[in-house]
Structure 1
Amino acid sequence: MRETPTPTTAEAAFEPTPTFRPNAKYVLLLGLMCALPAISTDIYLPSLPDVARDLDTSATAAQLTMSAMMLGGAVGQLVIGPVSDRFGRRAPVLIGVALHVVTSLLCALVVNIEALIGLRLAQGFFNAAATVVAMAVIRDRFVGADASRLISRLMLVIGIAPLFAPSVGGLIAGQAGWRAVFVALAVFGAALWLVVWRRLPETLPVERRRDGGIRTALRGYARLVRDRHFLALAVMPGLGVGVLMSYVVGSPFVLQEGYGLTSQQFAVLFAINGLGLVAGAQVNASIVRRIAPIRIIRVALPVSLALTLVLLAIAVTGFGGLPLLLVVLWLVLAMVNLAPPNASALALSRHGEVAGTAAAFMGATGAAISAVVSPLSSVLGADATAMALVMVGSAAAALLVLALATPAYRRGGAWNG
């Protein structure tokens, strides 16, 4: 029997659009909106060593440009989510993407690492609008397994777009320098702005918008914080992102400096590993209509932890060398996208009346966790062992949250929302 959360009384007034069926163009648009922060991160990855050399700084300082963007994204989502509940979905995303373009161009002009860190913080704040609005739009029209299935389909776009980002970024940086990468980000942002302006409909009618300012937003967040099951579900995707980001930020140094791969070889391996992310998301999309989302989470998280422990053992002992390390790493990444779409869909289904605020809370949690996790592998040694250790910590934390803060593993295993 399927296990689905029971809607609250307030939820009844905010049922999704039952007859809407997303076509491929609609999924592509929402996917590109969600992928904007990932593309802004991944296209820049091969340039990290060059940035450190050109701006005469350390690898840790260069990685802080990644953490700053994630922190900016966390704060941006907390602000933009309630704004989208108050003023609708279109205006916030159009303003946010436009300012992403401006900050991208300014990043290309910096002369020191401090300025780049500050501008990446602002860039993360502004492009958070694209992600939080995309998630809110999904909740405006879908709940439960339908929402989980759509989020998993979005992962195809979110996964494929960054597959090519490091290759494109490496090619651009190799031909024109790392500053040209930010010019390319500005061009991409301008193109996305145009498509959103022309193709994204408003999904939040005026009668469903929430009046008020800061106090209303704070009341919305207070309501979410009081819902412990929502909190648990909201944190789990962020911890899944923690596993991913420990790889994303650590892999350039582990594979290029630790194992001596060239930037081109790294880009190819990054793309192959990205296929694991896409594969996991599509497996989830195909099974979520037959298996309850919480059941998928119950299996995915323990398997993820087991795989990260195997990865750590390989990194510590060197058993199997780089080939075995890459095989297990691919499997770890394939598991990353099984739990988050289901946890996100279950969390959003509990608070449809403040979908923007709920989506912002989840996104901010993920971005904050990523900001904390990103520099850890460098602090711990910037090698394969450090990267794997951070992955183990994130996977273990996600499993502990599921086991201790939800009824998922209690006798009977029923999820009552």
Structure 2
Amino acid sequence: MPELSVAPLSLYVHLPWCKAKCPYCDFNSYAATEFPAARYVDALIADLERELPRVWGRQVHSIFFGGGTPSLFPPAELDRLLSAIRARLRLAPQVEISLEANPGAVDAAAFQGFYDAGINRLSLGVQSFDDGFLQALGRIHDARAAHLAIEALQKAGFDNWNLDLIFALPAQDLAAAQRDVQAALAHQPPHLSLYQLTLEPGTPFASQIPAQLPDADSAAEMEENLRNALADAGLQRYEVSAHARAGRQCRHNRNYWLYGDYLGIGAGAHGKITLAGQGIWRSRKAPRPESYMEAALKAKDSLGEGQWVPPAERPFEFFLNALRLLEGFDEQLFEERTGVSFLLVEARLRRALQDGLLQREGRHWRPTPLGLNWLNQLCRQFLPETGKTQSRPIASAS
């Protein structure tokens, strides 16, 4: 068996509250008009303290505040949290620190406060620039608020930021989807994440499907047209949903997709840590904020649950992530990050090569356009023989 190498390390911080729960959202988030921000930050710091023995001395290359709506937190509390993180972890000199924000849950003063606290990348959940579509999605902002938020974050000093857009919305046609992308491009974003609306199990949209959803052919036409427009504007697609200008790829997400390590703190946060000579440890914190805070502040030994990832499950996890990247992966990286011999997966990769889902250049493999379109089917080929995996697939941030 190849030796399992320690992967680059990131930190994910989950801030679970939002003003309203969107009907398409299946994230661990909770609607609230008020929440205990200071107490929650205390719990996060206590959580981090418990995790330190697993990552002691390792350098952190990126930090991501996800949610929920992290921009609801007072900048002073995030400043306090970042100070605590800096005092406990060794941060890379040019560490990327990202924060998710929504136009309806932030103002110009808050943007300036986040920037002054040391956050250097923002991800703005615009989703659409059309008031009708925003209302259909259950968003709390309108198009004007979205434009103002973009102007405010730039004025605060942010030059590294992302816009989230969703297409194939109820009653949306190609022309309307094009208008959304053109409205985004008018602001010249360094990074843009483009997602098709999906009906996630357990959400209101799944139980009561919106009327006039575009059919599969219409959605595919939209996607091809919109991605071409982004490429023409200098935003190159580098992952299934992510487009960026040169030098603006999201380093935090790239670490996920290359099967790197990440420490997860916060209610419902997931973590993956490689421990030399032991294996890969996956963890998940208690999902409910109150239960999480109570456990963290009462110094309980465990804030959630965890398990070792068996070698048989690591190839599926690796490919579930690495094959999202247009650049693909190297055979040596596979062995270093999984501790599994490449020979054990080569036959299945060759079948995918013959099926036109993958292409190969020497020891480097990458998905074809067909492989990207059929990514779920491609990844299923690497499930353990039982057809089951105990570790939850990674959901990327933006």
Query: Is the TM-score greater than 0.5?
Result: no
Kindly indicate whether structure 1 or structure 2 has the higher relative contact order, using CA contacts under 8 Å at least 6 residues apart: 1
Q: Which bracket does the TM-score occupy, shorter chain normalised? A: under 0.3
User: Which has the larger strand fraction?
Assistant: 2
* TM-score when normalising by structure 1: 0.23
Structure having the higher helix fraction is 1
